[in-house]
Each structure stands twice: as structure tokens, then as C-alpha cells.
Amino acid sequence: MTAVGQPGVGAEPSPAGGPAPLQPLVGGASREEPHTRLAKLGIQLNAGARTLLEDSCFDTRAPETLEVVRPRPPPARPRLRRHPPADHRCGTGAGSRPAPPPDTGPYLRLAITDQGQAPDSILSAGRAPTGAVHVHSVPLRADHDYPKGFYLRVVDGVTWSRGFRCDEEYVWPADAVLALRAPDA
């Protein structure tokens, strides 16, 4: 796992692809404030992101600074393997890695100012979108139709914060970038 923002790792790219470490301040605002800040910057939202922004997890809470990490791709596995490692499943969060708070996505979207253009313009295809940073936390509801987290992406010059849905059987592709909370030192 590559830790973004740890001492001695300054040359490692951030989940956004840039050299700057990501340690966003999350929380400490009213439920409306992140939405207002995103709108002011022209960041687009899909229905899933709007649903998540209306959730009570965005009620004012004490702010905290997070250190963002991303996993290295897992080693190649045989094609016939039926059950991938649990830490790459959608429904289980990040396995042994701590999940970020559910309200992390919009704050991380506001912190990532240099995310590169996605390699394609497909916004919804039933799979993890290319060029996205996925912010997956512990599910807020057991309902599979309720969004599970945010993904951050730039498509055709438009910056997005989008909500995504998946069930616990979904397996993240090896090249997916997941924003996770760094374990305590």
C-alpha cells in the first residue's frame, strides 16, 4: 500500500495523479456547506451524490484531518479463482484497511484540484469508471439501491463527484484507485 502524505513518500503520486500529498480536513461543517462549496466551484453531482449529501452523516461533527492512502494493485491471480481477497470487495469496505468516514467524498473532491482527465467519457456502465478515485466507506444502509460511496472524476473537462452503488459481491478491478484512511502509525 502506498501512503500518500507520509514522510519520505513525497514523490509518490496522490490518488489524483499529482505529487501533492492529500490530507483533507473532513467534517466540521453543516450538511449544506459541502454542497454549496461544490456548486460554487461548478462541480457536478449525479443523483447518487445528491442522495449521499442529504444523509444525516453530513450533520455537523468535529472536523478531522485524514491521510489518504491507495492500495497497490494485488498480485496477479489465476482466472479460475472464484473468491477474491475480501479487501477488494465493495460490500466489505477495505478489509483490514480502515474505511474513511462516509462524508469524506465531497471534502476530498474539494481537496483534489489537479485530477487528470478520464481516459473515456462513459459516466455509467455498471463497472468502476476509468480515471476515478473511489471513496468507499462502510455502507450507510443495507439497501443495495442506496449509494455506497462517492467517486471523483473529470470527464470532458467537467469535474464530478458521483455516488455509486454496488453489492457486497462486487469486486474492485485491480487498477481501481480507492481512497482509504491511513492506518494509525
Q: What is the pLDDT of residue 53?
A: 92
Predicted confidence at residue 29, as pLDDT, reads 86
**pLDDT value for 89:** 58
C-alpha cell at 12: 509518490
State the cell numbers at 141: 444502509
Torsion of CA 91, 94, 98, 99, to 10 degrees: -50
Tell me, what's the pLDDT at 74?
44
Query: Who's near 175: CB < 8 A, 6+ residues apart?
Result: 73
**Phi, psi of 51, rounded to the nearest 5 degrees:** -60, -50
Residue numbers in the chain where pLDDT is lower than 70: 1-21, 69-97, 183-185
Q: pLDDT value at position 110?
A: 92
Give the model's pLDDT for residue 97.
62
